[in-house]
C-alpha cells in the first residue's frame, strides 16, 4: 500500500488525516484529503467523551494548546432532566460511585444500607457528580488511592475549530489537501474503488479510500451499495434544530440534556458561547414548533438563525468493504444523546490502525474490524435506547411509545437482571461500563428488588462506617477543588472575547 485518499474533511476527515499522518506517513504512505469549501460540513459534535484526551495525547498534541485553539471547556458528565419523570434530574458522571470492597460492587453495599434506611443518596458517593453540580473541576490525581483519582474528564469544544486545528497539524506532517468535488468514481475488475475523478477533470488514484463524506456516504453507500441497518424504531428522533447563543455565565463542567414532549434539548457551554439544540421526532413535533421551542428557551441572545438537521439512527452493515473504509457519519449515526459521535470516529481510526493492512491483502483484518465496530455500535445503541425506554412518562404520545416499545433482546435481559438482583452486565470491550449503566438505571428510577448476597459478608454497622467515611472523603475532595472557570483561565489564559461562529460550527452543540 502506497497511497490513501480520504474523501471529506470536517471532524471525521481531519481526525483520520491527523492520525494517519502521525503513524503512516513515516512508513512511506502518502495521504491525500479531498474536500470542497462549497460543501458544508455538519460541523458539530461539541460534547465529547474522555477518550478524546487520549487520542490527542497519542498524536502528541498539547492539551492547553488544543483548549485554546478550540475554545474548549472541561466536561465531567451529562445532566439529564425530566427523563424518568418530569422534574427528575441526575448526572451521568465520568467516574465512580464509591469503590468495590473485596470484590463486592459498591452499589450492592449501598442497596443493603438503603434497605435499612442507613444510606445517603447514591450521588453523595460520586465525587464527579458532586463536583460537577458545584461547578468545580480539577485534574485527576495520579495516586489511585486518592478520592481525586475517581473521575475522568472530557471536553466541550467548537468542532469546526477542532477540524481546523487538526488540518494544520496534518498538513504540517505531510498530508496533501485537494480542493474539489467528486464527479465520477472509478472501479477496477474486482469492484474495488480505483480513482476519484473531480469536476475539474483531475483524477486521483490510490490503493485505499476512506469515506468521510458524511450522511451522503458517497463511496460506501453510493458506489459500493453497502446496506444501511435502520434502528429508528428504537431511536425515533430524526431531526435537530440548533443555534449558538451568547453566554455571560461561568460555564458548568457538564452538558445538559433536557427532555421535552417529543425528544430532548442540549446546552453545551464553550468559552465564548453556549451551543443549543433541540432533538425531536417529526412524527410528534413540526419543524416550526421545534424552532420556536428552542428559541424560547435560549439562555442568552443569538445573532444567527436556527439550522435544521435530518438524520436516521442506524449504521452500515459493514464499515469496511473492499478497499474502502467509512468513518463518521458515512458509517453510521446513533443520535447525539451521550456524545458518542466523535468517539465512534476515534475508535474506528484506532481499530483500523491496529489492523492496518501492511501487505495490501486484508480479508481477516477487514472481518475483525467489522466485527468489533458492530459490537461498538450495538452496545452504544442499547445504552441510548435505555434512556428513552426507562421512563415513567406518559404525558405525550412520544413518551408513551418509548415506554412501551419492544426493545432489543440483549437490552431487555440487562434491564431484567438489574431489576431482579442489581446485577449490571459487564463486558471487556465497549464504551459504557458499569458506572454508566448504574447512573441511568438509578437516575431513571429503576431499582433492584434485592442486593447481592455478597453484601451480607459485611455487617450493616461496618457498611455504615464505610459509606459514611467515603461520603466525607467526597465532601472534602469537592471542597478542595477550584472553580471550573478558574481552571480554564489558568490553563488557557484570559477568556477570549466572543467571536462569530465559524461556518462549520453554526449548528451549535449537537454531538455528532
What residue ranges define each of the domains in the chain, with the CATH number in brackets?
Answer: 3-44+157-228+316-374 (3.50.50.60), 239-310 (no CATH)
Would you place residue 356 in the very low, low, confident or very high pLDDT band (cuts 50, 70, 90)? confident
Tell me the per-residue pLDDT of 266-297, one tens digit each, with 9 for 90 and over.
999 999 899 999 999 999 999 999 999 999 99
Tell me the per-residue pLDDT of 208-241, one tens digit each, with 9 for 90 and over.
999 999 999 999 999 999 999 999 999 999 999 9
Would you place residue 359 in the very low, low, confident or very high pLDDT band (cuts 50, 70, 90)? low
Mean pLDDT score, 178-196: 95
Tell me the per-residue pLDDT of 121-155, one tens digit each, with 9 for 90 and over.
999 999 999 999 999 999 999 999 999 999 999 99
Set of cell numbers at residue 502 = 465559524
CA gap 467, 479 in Å, rounded: 18
Q: Position of cell 468559552?
A: 271
Q: Which residue has the higher pLDDT, 374 or 360?
A: 374
For residue 210, what is the enclosing H or E element?
A: strand 208-211
Contact between 404 and 392 (Cβ < 8 Å): no
Helix (H, G, I), strand (E, B) or coil at 209: strand
Would you place residue 449 in the very low, low, confident or very high pLDDT band (cuts 50, 70, 90)? very high
Mean pLDDT score, 483-511: 57
CA gap 406, 369 in Å, rounded: 29
Tell me the per-residue pLDDT of 8-62, one tens digit each, with 9 for 90 and over.
999 999 999 999 999 999 999 999 999 988 765 554 558 999 999 999 999 999 9
Quote the DSSP letter at residue 481: S
Q: How far is CA 51 from CA 122, 278, 303, 320, 425, in A?
A: 26, 25, 33, 22, 22
| pLDDT at residue 360, rounded to an integer | 66
| pLDDT at residue 500, rounded to an integer | 36
Helix (H, G, I), strand (E, B) or coil at 123: helix
Question: How does strand 228-230 pair with strand 274-280?
Answer: unpaired
The active-site residue out of 75, 130, 136, 414 is 75
Mean pLDDT score, 257-265: 98
| pLDDT at residue 427, rounded to an integer | 74
Tell me the per-residue pLDDT of 87-118, one tens digit each, with 9 for 90 and over.
999 999 999 999 988 889 999 999 999 999 99
Assess whether pLDDT exceeds 80 at residue 434: yes
Handedness of CA 45, 372, 33, 37 (dihedral sign): negative
Residues in Cβ contact with 451 at an 8 Å cutoff, skipping those fewer than 6 apart: 108, 109, 111, 112, 115, 421, 422
Set of cell numbers at residue 262 = 417529543
Percent of the chain with pLDDT over 70: 94
* Total-model pTM: 0.93
Count other C-beta atoms under 10 Å from residue 260's C-beta: 21
Mean pLDDT score, 487-512: 50
CA gap 32, 178 in Å, rounded: 7
Q: Which residue has the higher pLDDT, 46 or 182?
A: 182
Assess whether pLDDT exceeds 70 at residue 441: yes
Alpha helices in 320-459 (DSSP H): 341-354, 363-389, 397-404, 409-421, 434-443
Mean pLDDT of the chain: 92
Set of cell numbers at residue 422 = 442489581
Told to judge if 75 belongs to the known catalytic residues of this protein, a careful annotator would answer yes
| pLDDT at residue 98, rounded to an integer | 95
Would you place residue 362 in the very low, low, confident or very high pLDDT band (cuts 50, 70, 90)? confident
Assess whether pLDDT exceeds 60 at residue 512: no
| pLDDT at residue 39, rounded to an integer | 64
Residues in Cβ contact with 395 at an 8 Å cutoff, skipping those fewer than 6 apart: 86, 261
Contact between 39 and 7 (Cβ < 8 Å): no
Count other C-beta atoms under 10 Å from residue 433's C-beta: 12
| pLDDT at residue 361, rounded to an integer | 67
Amino acid at each position: 500500500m502506497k497511497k490513501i485518499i480520504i474523501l471529506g474533511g470536517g471532524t471525521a476527515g481531519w481526525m483520520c488525516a491527523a492520525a494517519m499522518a502521525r503513524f503512516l506517513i513515516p512508513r512511506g504512505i502518502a495521504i491525500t484529503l479531498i474536500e470542497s469549501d462549497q460543501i458544508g460540513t455538519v460541523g458539530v459534535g461539541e460534547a465529547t467523551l474522555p477518550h478524546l484526551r487520549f487520542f490527542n495525547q497519542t498524536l502528541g498534541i498539547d492539551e492547553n494548546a488544543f483548549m485554546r485553539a478550540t475554545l474548549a471547556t472541561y466536561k465531567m458528565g451529562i445532566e439529564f432532566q425530566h427523563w424518568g419523570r418530569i422534574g427528575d434530574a441526575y448526572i451521568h458522571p465520568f467516574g465512580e460511585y464509591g469503590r468495590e470492597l473485596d470484590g463486592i460492587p459498591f452499589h450492592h453495599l449501598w442497596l443493603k444500607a438503603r434497605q435499612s434506611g442507613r444510606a445517603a443518596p447514591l450521588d453523595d458517593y460520586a465525587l464527579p457528580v458532586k463536583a460537577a453540580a458545584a461547578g468545580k473541576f480539577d485534574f485527576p490525581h495520579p495516586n489511585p488511592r486518592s478520592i481525586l483519582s475517581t473521575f475522568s474528564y472530557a471536553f466541550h469544544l467548537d468542532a469546526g475549530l477542532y477540524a481546523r486545528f487538526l488540518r494544520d497539524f496534518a498538513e504540517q506532517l505531510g498530508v496533501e489537501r485537494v480542493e474539489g468535488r467528486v464527479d465520477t468514481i472509478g472501479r477496477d475488475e474486482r469492484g474495488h474503488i480505483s480513482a476519484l475523478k473531480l469536476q475539474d477533470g483531475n483524477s486521483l488514484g490510490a490503493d485505499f479510500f476512506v469515506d468521510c463524506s458524511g450522511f451522503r456516504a458517497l463511496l460506501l453507500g453510493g458506489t459500493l451499495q453497502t446496506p444501511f441497518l435502520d434502528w429508528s424504531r428504537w431511536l425515533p428522533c430524526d431531526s435537530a434544530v440548533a443555534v449558538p447563543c451568547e453566554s455571560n455565565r461561568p460555564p458548568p463542567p457538564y452538558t445538559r440534556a433536557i427532555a421535552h414532549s417529543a425528544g430532548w434539548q442540549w446546552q453545551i457551554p464553550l468559552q465564548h458561547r453556549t451551543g443549543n439544540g433541540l432533538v425531536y421526532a417529526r412524527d410528534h413535533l413540526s419543524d416550526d414548533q421545534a424552532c420556536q421551542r428552542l428559541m424560547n428557551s435560549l439562555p442568552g441572545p443569538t445573532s444567527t438563525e436556527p439550522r435544521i438537521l435530518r438524520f436516521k439512527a442506524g449504521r452500515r452493515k459493514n464499515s469496511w468493504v473492499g478497499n474502502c473504509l467509512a468513518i463518521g457519519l458515512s458509517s453510521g449515526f446513533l443520535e447525539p444523546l451521550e456524545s458518542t459521535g466523535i468517539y465512534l470516529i476515534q475508535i474506528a481510526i484506532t481499530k483500523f490502525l491496529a489492523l492496518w493492512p501492511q501487505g495490501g491483502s486484508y480479508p481477516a483484518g477487514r472481518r475483525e474490524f467489522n466485527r468489533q465496530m458492530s459490537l461498538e455500535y450495538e452496545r452504544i445503541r442499547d445504552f441510548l435506547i435505555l434512556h428513552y425506554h426507562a421512563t415513567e412518562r406518559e404525558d405525550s404520545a412520544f413518551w408513551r411509545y418509548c415506554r412501551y416499545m419492544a426493545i432489543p433482546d440483549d437490552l431487555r435481559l440487562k434491564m431484567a437482571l438489574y431489576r431482579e438482583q442489581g446485577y449490571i452486565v459487564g463486558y471487556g470491550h465497549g464504551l459504557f461500563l458499569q458506572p454508566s449503566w448504574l447512573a441511568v438505571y438509578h437516575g431513571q428510577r429503576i431499582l433492584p428488588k434485592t442486593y447481592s448476597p455478597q453484601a451480607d459478608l459485611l455487617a450493616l454497622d461496618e457498611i455504615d462506617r464505610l459509606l459514611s467515611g467515603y461520603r466525607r472523603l467526597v465532601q472534602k475532595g469537592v471542597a478542595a477543588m477550584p472553580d471550573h472557570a478558574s481552571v480554564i483561565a489558568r490553563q488557557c489564559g484570559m477568556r477570549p472575547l466572543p467571536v462569530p461562529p465559524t461556518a462549520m460550527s453554526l449548528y451549535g452543540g449537537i454531538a455528532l
